Structure 1
Amino acid sequence: MIVKRVKTGIPGMDEILYGGIPERNVVLLSGGPGTGKTIFSQQYLWYGLQHGEPGIYVALEEHPVQVRRNMLQFGWDVRKYEKKGMFAIIDAFTGGIGEAAKREKYVVRDPTDVHMLIDVIKEAIRDTGAKRGAVDSVSTLYLTKPVVARSVVMNLKRVLSGLGVTSILVSQVSATERGFGGPGVEHAADGIIRMDLDEYDGELYRSLIVWKMRGTKHDMRRHPFDITDKGIIVYYDKVLRIRGGRAYIEPLPEKVVKEMEEAAKKTEDVFGEEEE
C-alpha cells in the first residue's frame, strides 16, 4: 500500500518516522515545559511554507504578535506568507481585546467555545488552502474539564483531517507527568511524539520518542535532540539510555541507521507526492 507522507523538515525526525508523517494524520506532541514543543510545531509549519505548502497556526497560549516575534528569532519570517495568503495565525488567545488584536484577520471571540474555534479554523483552512496545521496548545481547551479531552481532540481531528490537513496538536503536561496531557487523548490521536527534558546525575537531557504513528513504521527508541538558533535537530543515529540513574548517549548500530536513512530517502525528492 502506498502511503502519502508529509515530511516534518526537522533534521533527523523524518529518519525516525521512516519518511515522514502519513498525510492527514493528527499527531499529539506531548511534553512538559521547556521541552521545545512550540518550536517543533512552528518549524514543521515553516518547512512546509518553504516548499509551497500553506499552513495555519492556532495560538491558544500566546498573542499572535508574540508568535511572530518568537518565530523570527529562528529566521522564520511568516509575515510575507500571511500577505500571500499562504499562512494564517488564528488568534484564540486575546478574544479580540487590544489594539493589536483588532488587526488580526482570524479571531476567536470566545476562546473557550470549541465550536466557535472550529468555525474559524475551517475559514482559515479554506482561505489559505492549508495542508499543515498546528494547535498550541490543545490542552488549554480542556484544562479545567479534563473529562472532555478526548472529545475535543476528536472534534479537531474530524475538521483538520477531513479538510486534508496534516496536523500537530501540542499537549502540555507537568514536568513530572508521564502521560500525554488528558484522559483518552492518546486513543483519539493518530500519532504521539513525546518530548522530554529530564535530569540525570545533575545534568539536563533533551530527548524524544515516537509512541505511535498510524500508517507507518517508526523507530521505537528514545533519541536525544538539541535546540539551536536554527531550530531543533534530532540525533536519529543516537539513543539515550539510562543505567543506574545516569544517562548515556550511545550510537546506534550502522545497520539500523542505514535502514532509517533509506526509508527517509524514498520521500526525499517527492515533496507532497506519493512515495515510490
Structure 2
Amino acid sequence: MIIRRVKTGVPGMDEILYGGIPERNVVLLSGGPGTGKSIFSQQFLWYGLQQGEPGIYVALEEHPVQIKRNMIQFGWDVRPYEKKGMFAIVDAFTGGIGETAKREKYVVRDPTDVGLLVDVIKEAIRDTGAKRAAIDSVSTLYLTKPVIARSVVMQLKRVLSGLGLTSILVSQVSAQERGFGGPGVEHAADGIIRLDLDEYDGELYRSLIVWKMRGTKHSMRRHPFDITDHGLIVYYNKVLRVRGGRAFIEQLPEKVVEEMEKAAQKVEDVYEEAE
C-alpha cells in the first residue's frame, strides 16, 4: 500500500522526513518563543496553496489581519486565495470584537469552547475543501487546564484526520522546557517536530529534530535551520552537535545525505506514478 506524502514546502524538511508528512497525520510543532513555529505552519499552508491544495489557518493567539500582514512579509499573500474560496482563517482570537473582526466569515465567539471551535473549523473545511490545516497555537486551549491537553488534541485529531486533512498543531513551551506543551500530547499526535533556539558560548543556534512521525522513517539527528526572507530553510545535510558547552555544525557523511535524498525522490516518483 502506497502511503501518500504531503510535502511541507520547507526546503530540506522533506528529506529529513524521507519524502514528507504521511497524509492525514496530525503533527505537533513544538518549541519555545522565537523558534519559528508560526512561520513553519504558514509556510506549510502557503506551499499547499501553490500546489492547488486548499487550507485553513486557525488563529488563537493573533488577529487575522496581523497574520496576513506577517505572511506578506515572506511573499505569502493569501488574500487572492481567500477570494477564490481556497483559504480561510478561523478567527478564534477576537471573539468577534472590533470592526475588522466583524468582517471575518469564520468567527469563534468563545475561543475557550472547544466544541464551538470544532464546529466552526468543520464549516471552514467544508466551504474551502481544505486539505491542510494549521492551528496556532493549540496550547491556548489548555494552558489554564494542562490536564486536558491530550483530550483537546484528540478532539481536533478526530475532526482533522477524519476529514482527510494533514495538519500542523503549534504547541508552545517555555524557553528552557524540554517537553511538548502538555501532559500526554505526545501520545495523541501522529508526529512531533521540535524547534529550538539555544545559546551556546554566547551565540544562538536554531535547530530542529523530528521526535516521531507515524508512517515514515525519518532522520534521528538534530539539524540546524535558518529563518530567511522567504521562510525556513532546513539543512538536512548538516547536524548540530554540542561538546563542552559549545555547539558545532558538522557536515553529515555523503552516504547518509544520499540516502535521505533518494528516499525523498523515490516517494515523489511513486506519487507521480500513482497520479
Unaligned segments of structure 2, at least 5 residues:
none
Question: How many residue pairs are counted as aligned between the two chains?
Answer: 275
Q: Would you say 1:142 and 2:155 are equivalent positions? A: no
Alpha-carbon distance between aligned partners in 2 of 1:39 and 1:60, rounded to the nearest angstrom? 15
**Which residue matches 1:34?**
34
- Overall identity of the aligned pairs, in %: 87
SS of 2:176's partner is: coil
> In 2 relative to 1, CA 184–71 (structure 1 residues): closer, same or farther, beyond 3 Å?
same
**Which residue matches 2:124?**
124
**Which residue matches 1:218?**
218
**Which residue matches 2:169?**
169
Q: Would you say 1:87 and 2:82 are equivalent positions? A: no
State the shift of 1:9 in Å. Answer: 1.2
* Partner deviation per Cα, 1:12-41 (whole Å, 9 max, x = no partner): 000000000000000000000000000000
The answer as to whether partners of 1:32 and 1:172 remain within 8 angstroms in 2 is yes
**Which residue matches 2:198?**
198
Alpha-carbon distance between aligned partners in 1 of 2:218 and 2:248, rounded to the nearest angstrom? 22
Which amino acid counterpart does residue 62 of structure 1 have in structure 2? E
State the shift of 1:217 in Å. Answer: 0.3
SS of 2:68's partner is: helix
**Which residue matches 2:11?**
11
State the shift of 1:264 in Å. Answer: 1.0
**Which residue matches 1:178?**
178
RMSD after superposition: 1.2
The answer as to whether partners of 1:267 and 1:275 remain within 8 angstroms in 2 is no
Please, which moves more after superposition, 262-271 or 150-159?
A: 262-271
Alpha-carbon distance between aligned partners in 2 of 1:93 and 1:172, rounded to the nearest angstrom? 16
Q: Would you say 1:24 and 2:24 are equivalent positions? A: yes
Which amino acid counterpart does residue 18 of structure 1 have in structure 2? Y
How does the TM-score come out when normalised to structure 2? 0.98
**Which residue matches 1:59?**
59
The answer as to whether partners of 1:150 and 1:188 remain within 8 angstroms in 2 is yes
**Which residue matches 1:105?**
105
SS of 1:44's partner is: helix
Unaligned segments of structure 1, at least 5 residues:
none
State the shift of 1:268 in Å. Answer: 3.6
How does the TM-score come out when normalised to structure 1? 0.98
State the shift of 1:8 in Å. Answer: 0.3
